[in-house]
Structure 1
Amino acid sequence: MHRIVNTEQSTAWNGYEGSHWAAHQSRYDAVNSGFNDCLLTAAAIGVGDRVLDIGCGNGQSTRLAARLAAQGHATGVDLSEPMLARARATATAEGIANVAFVQGDAQVHLFPEGRFDVAVSRFGVMFFGDPVAAFRNIRRALRPGGRLAFVCLRGMDRSDLGQVLAALSEQPAHSGGAAAPAAPGAVSLADPVAIRQVLTEAGFEQTEPTAVEAVQLWGRDAVDAGEFLGGWGPVRHHLAQVDRVAAARARRALTEAMRAYEGPGGVRLRCAAWLVAATRA
């Protein structure tokens, strides 16, 4: 039995949300892989390092870490069993043997103390119910002097996706309306002051939030991108709160909003994030 304290997130990631990400593994990797290089550079993974990937999802960042730690090991932890199953299958298909995937809530999971040299995360640390407790638990898993590197979202108004999602709030809905969607907690670490405060309280030092940007590929064209975004969990939940006419109108609005970012290479949106590096005190 895995101990879970973040029950709402666990329900989502073991339900529709996790299943959608697992079913569209390559598409979500295309959305987020632009941050891989800066994350792994900040992590400075050595050939013999033991790496912990927090909120590993479908496991792309874990597999990349395992390749860098060719004589070490990489462990990915996530709440979502559908995504972990996809991660394990992909690692097997790619012949990566020095990797493991564990289902668990990183806020309370009983990691072996001091086991890891470095912990990384690509957008997997924004959803903790208690961020200080979670980062303390991650700190405990690191050896003294161990490194932490992660990327987290800045404010939605900093990214093109925020402009696209704003198109939904402009659509009239049924009585009572519905606010524009946003993944709960997605921007919980948007403030660099809050990042430093949380990490310092959790026992990290030399915290260095750096503003970074990457281009996210959302689809072949506006129609394809709009349909894909319409299936993303927060948007799908939003559309379920309105009547059919309003939902159809909102889907059309998403597609039209995507047209501003459509080009020969597909629909590309600029995403703003923080790259954070820290050391276990």
Structure 2
Amino acid sequence: MDVVNTGQAEAWNGYEGEHWAGHHDRYDAVNNGFDAALLDAAAIGARDRVLDLGCGNGYVTRLAARRAPLGEAVGVDLSAPMLARARSLTEDEDVPNVAFEQGDVQVHPFPDAAFDAAVSRFGVMFFADPVAAFGNVRRALRDGGRLAFLAMTSPAETDLGAVFAAIAPQAESVTGHGGPLSLADPARVREILDAAGFRDVSCRTVHADQVWGRDAADAAEFLAGWGPVRHNLGDGAGLRAAITDAMRPFERDGAVRLRSTALLVRARR
């Protein structure tokens, strides 16, 4: 595997990747409220070949494959722990038209014009060189091929932002202005995709409930283990207690549900 994004490769093959692989069902519960909007935006047809960027544990890859029963879905990710989980889950769920590849999207040798659509659920915010990465994705798409991805937006105006505000001076001190929020600005997204050769770029905000746990204490235990929280705020009982208190107002219908937003981006080769 050729890697130029070495910092992210280390993270996703270390603690971060192990945590996501070990809690795949939890992360999917947080994020899968956005899945329908993403896959609808990609307009996947029955015979399409779909590329899932930063596929992680492969949940979206499998959803895409089910929308393309006569086609194929290929997931690519840096993380060996998550790809191992993705392959295991795909076998358990008996989804035959799925393949996974370990690679750095910036330099991975995708075949030219091989895919009808490329999708990503929060997997494209970490490129060291996003223009190179999206340029490589563009090369892998056929003429007229679709790109659709979700990027994290600032949590400041969301329920998660309210939780962060209760435990940290500013929400961005947890997530950082780069990394997860690197594609939060539609103007920057358009600039990057234009430079990478895409056209018909559009961005819109979408909303979904995120399920963080069965109750406040359970949600706090999970959130405290999330990489950005653990890295920026430490890992102590006091933090878990503070998160538990902040999560309690969001307990409803047997779970902790936080209203969240994401940026949904569409473009075309």
> TM-score, normalized by length of structure 2?
0.95
Letter in 1 for 2:34: F
Q: Structure 1 CA distance, aligned partners of 2:143 and 2:173?
A: 43
Aligned ranges 1:179-218 → 2 under 5 Å: 180-182=173-175, 184-218=178-212
Q: Structure 1 CA distance, aligned partners of 2:109 and 2:46?
A: 25
Q: Cα deviation per residue 1:199-245 (whole Å; 9 max; x = unaligned)?
A: 111111111101101100000000000011011111122243xxx8x
Cα distance change on mapping 1:12 and 1:47 into 2, 3 Å: same
Letter in 2 for 1:90: L
Please say if residues 166 and 180 of structure 1, whose CA atoms lie closer than 8 Å, have aligned partners that are also in contact.
Answer: no
Please say if residues 52 and 116 of structure 1, whose CA atoms lie closer than 8 Å, have aligned partners that are also in contact.
Answer: yes
Name 1:111's counterpart in structure 2: 110
The DSSP-based 3-state class of the residue aligned with 2:179 is coil
Deviation of residue 63 (structure 1)? 0.2
**Identity %, equivalent residues:** 60
Letter in 2 for 1:217: V
The DSSP-based 3-state class of the residue aligned with 1:276 is strand
The DSSP-based 3-state class of the residue aligned with 1:108 is coil
Are 1:219 and 2:213 an aligned pair?
yes
Q: Please point out which of 253, 266, 269 is paired with 1:277.
A: 266
Name 1:70's counterpart in structure 2: 69
Deviation of residue 164 (structure 1)? 1.2
Moved over 6 A (4+): none
The DSSP-based 3-state class of the residue aligned with 1:278 is strand
Letter in 2 for 1:14: N
Q: Cα deviation per residue 1:68-112 (whole Å; 9 max; x = unaligned)?
A: 111111000001111101110111111111110111111111111
Name 2:48's counterpart in structure 1: 49
Please say if residues 122 and 152 of structure 1, whose CA atoms lie closer than 8 Å, have aligned partners that are also in contact.
Answer: yes
Deviation of residue 260 (structure 1)? 1.7
The DSSP-based 3-state class of the residue aligned with 1:186 is helix
Q: Structure 2 CA distance, aligned partners of 1:105 and 1:164?
A: 33
Q: Structure 2 CA distance, aligned partners of 1:29 and 1:151?
A: 14
Please say if residues 59 and 84 of structure 1, whose CA atoms lie closer than 8 Å, have aligned partners that are also in contact.
Answer: yes
Deviation of residue 170 (structure 1)? 4.7
Please say if residues 107 and 134 of structure 1, whose CA atoms lie closer than 8 Å, have aligned partners that are also in contact.
Answer: yes
The DSSP-based 3-state class of the residue aligned with 1:138 is helix
Q: Structure 2 CA distance, aligned partners of 1:118 and 1:144?
A: 10
Provide the alpha-carbon RMSD of the alignment.
1.5
Q: Structure 1 CA distance, aligned partners of 2:31 and 2:173?
A: 22
Q: Structure 1 CA distance, aligned partners of 2:31 and 2:204?
A: 17
Aligned ranges 1:109-148 → 2 under 5 Å: 109-148=108-147
Q: Structure 2 CA distance, aligned partners of 1:22 and 1:208?
A: 32
The DSSP-based 3-state class of the residue aligned with 1:105 is coil
The DSSP-based 3-state class of the residue aligned with 1:53 is strand
Please say if residues 181 and 234 of structure 1, whose CA atoms lie closer than 8 Å, have aligned partners that are also in contact.
Answer: yes
Q: Structure 2 CA distance, aligned partners of 1:51 and 1:192?
A: 24
Greater C-alpha radius of gyration: 1
Are 1:268 and 2:257 an aligned pair?
yes
Letter in 2 for 1:124: G
Letter in 1 for 2:40: T
Q: Cα deviation per residue 1:121-156 (whole Å; 9 max; x = unaligned)?
A: 000111111111110010011011111001111112
Q: Structure 2 CA distance, aligned partners of 1:35 and 1:115?
A: 26
Letter in 2 for 1:265: G
Q: Which runs of 5+ in 1 are unaligned?
A: 172-178
Q: Which runs of 5+ in 2 are unaligned?
A: none
Q: Structure 1 CA distance, aligned partners of 2:207 and 2:157?
A: 10
